Chain A
Amino acid sequence: MTILNEPAYLISRREAIRRVSALLGGVALVGGTAMFTGCRDTPRVNTAAFTPFTPDDIAYLDEIAETILPETKTPGAKAARTGAFMALMVTDSYGADDQKIFRAGMRALDDASRKANNVSFVAATPAQRLVLLESLDKEQKTHSDARDAEKRKAKSDAYLPDQRKENASTTTDVSAAASITKDTPAHYFRMMKELALLGYFSSEIGMTKAQQYVESPGRYEPCIPYTPGDRAWAGHA
C-alpha cells in the first residue's frame, strides 16, 4: 500500500452509553459537570476569578477524602492523592456556580469543625472529623434525594403506572427538604463525596488494591462462584 502525504503532517497532529451503563461503566456526577453523560450547558467560566487551590487546600481535601475513605486493610484516599484530584476536577471541570459552592463548602466545614471542636478540620482528630462528616452526609443525602425527586417530577411521566413511579422515587423522607426545587444547586458535601469516590476508586491504588484490576483478562466467564470478600472488578475504558 502506498500512503501519500502522510509523514509530513502527522507529527504536528498527535495528540459507549454510556448507552447502557453496565457496558461502559459510566457514572453521571450530580455536582458540577456531569462528567460522563451530562448534557448540561455550563456558562463560559472565567476561571481567573478563582484563586488556585493551595497546597494547604489540597492537604485539607486529602483529609476530607481520607475521612470518607480511610486506610483499612487497603490504603486510603490520602495515599491515592485524592485531594489533588479533587482540586483539579473542581478547577478544570466545574462551572463557576458549582466552584463557588464547593469552595464555600470548604470554609463552612472548617467553621463547623471550629465550632464543634475549637480546631480546624485538619487539626481535628479522625474521630472528630468522622462525626462531622457523618452529619454532613445525612444532610446532603436528604438534600440530594429531594432534588432528584423534584427533577423527576418535572419530567413528563404521565404514563408511568403508580407502582413504577414509586420505584422511581427514593426511600428518603423528602418532606424534610420541602424548600428544595429541581433548580436547587447540589450540596457541597455531595460534590466532595463524589469527587473523593471517583478520585479514589479510579486511582491506581483504588483500582489495583481496593478493587481487582486485570489489564487483559483473556477470557470471559459468564457465571462463576462468588466468594464473600472478593473485591469488585475495576473497569477499563
Chain B
Amino acid sequence: MGATTPNSRERRGTVQSVEYDAIVVGSGISGGWAAKELTEKGLRVLLLERGRNVEHIKDYVSATKAPWEYAHRGGRTKSMEELYPVLKRDYPLNEKNLAFWVNEQESPYTESRRFDWFRGYQVGGKSLMWGRQSYRWSDLDFNANAKEGVAVDWPLRYADLAPWYDKVEKHAGISGSHEGLEQLPDGQFQPAMPLNCGEELVAGKVSKQFGGKRKIIPGRVANATQKLDGRNACQYRNACWLGCPYGAYFSTQSSTLPAAAKTGKLTLKPFSIVSEVLFDKNAKRATGVRVMDAVSEQVTDYKAKIIFLCASTLNSTWLLMRSATDMWPGGLGSSSGELGHNLMDHHFRAGAEGTLEGLDDKTTYGRRPNGFYIPRYRNLFGDKRDYLRGFGYQGSAGRQGWSRAVAELGVGGAFKDEMSLPGTWTVGATGFGEMLPNHANMISLDQNKKDKWGMPVLRIDCATGPNEAAMRKDMLHDMAEMLEAAGVKKVKINDDTYFPGMGIHEMGTARMGRDPKTSVLNSHNQVWDAPNVFVTDGSGMVSSACVNPSLTYMAMTARAADFAVSELNKRNL
C-alpha cells in the first residue's frame, strides 16, 4: 500500500523523495476515473485533492437526517448569503448540504461579466452533488465544428469513444432506455426508471403529433436500479445530493475510489493544493507537482512520470496558467494562444409548464430522483433553423404538493385538509441548449486579487451570444407547443434569466484539437507542450453539445489513461 507520510521536518520547497508512477490532481468525476484506471493498470498513483476527505457514507452527515431536523428546514439565512455571494444566486445555497460547496471567502474569483461558478472542493468534488444525468454524445456533436467552420474540429469521433462509454457505463451504473436514436446513442444501461402516467400521457401524444420526431424518454441517470459491485440499488428517497447511504448513485466515493483502493496502489492526499506543475525545459516533460498543504501551508514537491489534471474545467486551466511560466508567460500549454479561451456552459431556464387533466385517480409511489428527457430534434434530419446546433429538454410530471397553497386563496380547516392532499398533475421542462465556443469567452489570472493561499485568482469573462438568444426562443416556444399539442392546460412559458455558469456544465479553456498551433491538447488529452501531462476533465471540450457532459469526461479519462499507460510502456513519455 501507498507511500509514507510526508515528513513534517521537511522545509518549504523540499523535494519529496517518494516518486509515484502517476499523479492525479483532483478527485471528482474525472480524477476518480483516472485514479481507478491507472491503478488498475498497475501504476502507483498519488491522488491529490485540495479539500477535505469525505468518507463514503460515514461523512454524509445530512443523509439520514429527517427534513424537519434542520432549523430553517433546508432554507437559507442572511448570514449564509453573506458568506456565499455566488452560491446564493441559485438553488445550491441551502442548509442541508452546504458543507459540500466551496468556501467562497477562502476561494474568491473575479467576474468581468457575471459568471456563476459553483464549486465543490472535497474528495469526490461535485460527484457528490451532481445532477447525474448521463448521456452519450454523438457524431452530430463531434462533427459539428468542422461541418460549420466553427472554432476547430474535434480530434476524435464517436467511434473513438464508444468502447470507453461502454466501459464507464457498466461500472458507473447508468439506468436508461434503449431508443435507437442517432443523436443520442444507446449504451450499457441498467433498467430505466420509468416515466409516470402523466409523462406517458404527454409522451404518447407528443410522439403522435410530431410524427415521432420529438420523443419523451426516461432520463438516463447515474443511479443504479439494480445492485452493482457492492452498491445497493436506488431506494427512491430522492435525497441524492446529501450523499447516498446506499451508494446507489455514481460518485467517486461509491464507485471509482473503492476500485482504485482495492488495487493497493493508491495514495489519497486531501488538503493538497497543487500550486504548479513542475516542468523540465530540457526534457520537455513535466517532472511532478508542487503541493501546498491547505492547512499548514507547507510546500512539498512530488515527482511522477505522468500527470493527470482533473481539477475541474476552470481549475485545471488555472493550474496550467501558473505552471512553467518561465518558459511560456501564459503558462504550460499556452503556446497556441488558446489556453483560457472558449469557455462554454449550457444555457437553460427556458421552457414551459402546464396542468394535466384526467389523471386525478392516479398517483405514484416513491420519490424518483430523475425525470424525462427530450433529445435534440432541431437542426437535425432536414430541420433547419436560423441558429446553429440545438437543445434537449429535461423535465417531469407529478402531482402538486402543499406549496400550491401559497398562491391560493384560503385559510382554515378545510383549506388545510385540502392542501394535505395531492393537487392537480402538472408537467414542465426546461431546455438545455448548446453554447457555441467563442474565443472572447475566457479566463485569465487576476494578479490583483489573491486567494487564501496567496495565489492570483481567476478572472472570468463570458457571455452568451446571438446564437444562444435565437435558440432560446425555440426553447420557450417548442415546449409550450408540445404541451399544448398533448392537451396540457394552462400552459405557461418559463423564461428565467440565465447567466453563464448556472448550468454547472462549464467546458473548454484548454481545448483539444488536431493542430498544436490552435489547440492546447491533442486527441488523447495530452498537452501538446508537455506530452506527459494529460487534462481529462471538461477543460478539453471543443464544443459543448447540448447533452450533459460528465459521462463524456468519464469515457475520455478512461481512454486517455489507457493511452498514457501504453505510451509509458513504450517509453514514449
Residues of A whose CB lies within 8 Å of any CB of B are 1-6, 8-10, 13-27, 29-30, 33, 35-39, 42, 44-45, 47, 67-70, 72-74, 76, 85, 88-89, 92-95, 130, 133-134, 137-138, 141, 144, 155, 157, 159-160, 164, 167-168, 193-194, 197-199, 201-204, 206-207, 210-211, 214-226, 229-237
Contact = CB atoms under 8 A, between A and B. Distances in A.
20 contacts: A1-B1, A33-B76, A38-B88, A69-B416, A93-B78, A134-B412, A138-B409, A202-B68, A207-B66, A216-B236, A222-B368, A223-B196, A226-B361, A231-B421, A232-B401, A236-B237, A236-B238, A237-B67, A237-B237, A237-B238
A222 B365 CA distance: 7
B266 A2 contact: yes
A116 B371 CA distance: 51
B313 interface: no
Given A2-B266, A221-B365, A237-B242, A164 B491 contact: yes
B2 A137 contact: no
B79 interface: yes
Given A13-B52, A133-B411, A210-B416, A27 B406 contact: yes
B241 A70 contact: no
Contacts of A13: 52
B412 A207 contact: no
Nearest to B295: A9
B217 interface: no
Nearest to A155: B495
A157 B477 CA distance: 12
Given A45-B78, A220-B194, A221-B366, A39 B88 contact: yes
Given A20-B395, A201-B419, 11 more contacts: A2-B1, A9-B295, A20-B429, A144-B407, A217-B237, A220-B368, A224-B364, A229-B421, A232-B420, A235-B367, A236-B237
Interface in B31-46: none
Contacts of B82: 44
B96 to A, nearest CB: 6
B254 interface: no
Contacts of A168: 492-493
A1 B420 contact: no
Nearest to B73: A202
The 4 closest A-B pairs by CB, nearest first: A2-B2, A1-B261, A223-B197, A217-B366
Contact of B235 (A85, A217, A237): A217
Interface of B: 1-3, 5-6, 52-53, 61, 66-68, 71-79, 81-82, 88-91, 94, 96-99, 131, 193-197, 199-200, 235-242, 257, 260-261, 264, 266-272, 293, 295, 348, 353-354, 360-371, 394-399, 401-403, 405-407, 409-413, 415-417, 419-423, 426, 428-430, 473, 476-477, 480, 490-493, 495, 497
Contacts of A207: 66-68
Contacts of B406: 27, 29-30, 193-194, 197
A33 B84 CA distance: 14
Contact of B365 (A8, A157, A219): A219
Contacts of B193: 220
A93 B366 contact: no
B91 A2 contact: no
Contacts of A72: 413, 416-417
Nearest to A24: B91
A16 B241 contact: yes
B468 to A, nearest CB: 15
A236 B196 CA distance: 19
B67 A202 contact: yes
Contact of A224 (B363, B420, B480, B491): B363
Nearest to B82: A44
Contacts of A225: 361-363
Contacts of B89: 39
A2 B422 contact: no
A217 B365 contact: yes
Nearest to B132: A16
A29 B74 CA distance: 13
A87 to B, nearest CB: 12
Contacts of A157: 493, 495
B268 A220 contact: no
A220 B366 contact: yes
Nearest to A237: B239
